[in-house]
Amino acid sequence: MLIPRKVKHRKHFRGKMRGISNRGQNLEFGSFGLKAQSRGWLTSRQIEAARRALTRFIKREGQVWIRVFPDRPVTSQPNETGMGGGKGSVDHYVCTVTPGRIIFEMDGVEQSIAKQALKLAQYKLPIKTKIISKP
């Protein structure tokens, strides 16, 4: 699973997810990709599950690029803890995805296989996505 080696600040505010993605909107490495249509948080577990679905379907042919990285800590309090007592400890890491962001890219496989593999990866993600390809 993806987690950062080192972070500048241990705990983050939740923040807002306004606007559209201003970077990572074009296919840079592969011929096919998965583009976000809605906004949300992707956990490292969700990214890993989608990546495994992709690579297993293409039987480790071709190449897959992950274009997002979960570098944002999410905290949680233990169950049955009273109010107060400060912010909880870091539970997991997420990456904030806004519309237009490329999440995965792949190359080296036929178009029909790539579309099916990306469809399987779509099911693993909590946001709406679309499959794109280079013209």
How much is the pLDDT for 135?
81
How many Å apart are CA 30 and CA 86, to the nearest integer? 45
pLDDT at 8: 95
Compute the half-sphere exposure of residue 80: CA atoms within 13 Å on the CB side of its CA.
Answer: 0
Average pLDDT, the chain: 96
Question: In this predicted model, what pLDDT tens digit does every residue of 13-69 receive, in sequence order?
Answer: 999 999 999 999 999 999 999 999 999 999 999 999 999 999 999 998 999 999 999
pLDDT single digits (tens) 92-129:
999 999 999 999 999 999 999 999 999 999 999 999 99
**CA neighbor of 24 nearest in space, from 124, 80, 78, 96:** 96
Burial (0-12, 13-18, 19+ Cβ within 10 Å), 65: middle
Q: At what angle do helices 111-124 and 44-57 cross, to 10 degrees?
A: 150
The pLDDT assigned to 63 comes to: 96
Domains of the chain (ranges; CATH) run 32-76+89-133 (3.90.1170.10)
pTM summary value: 0.93
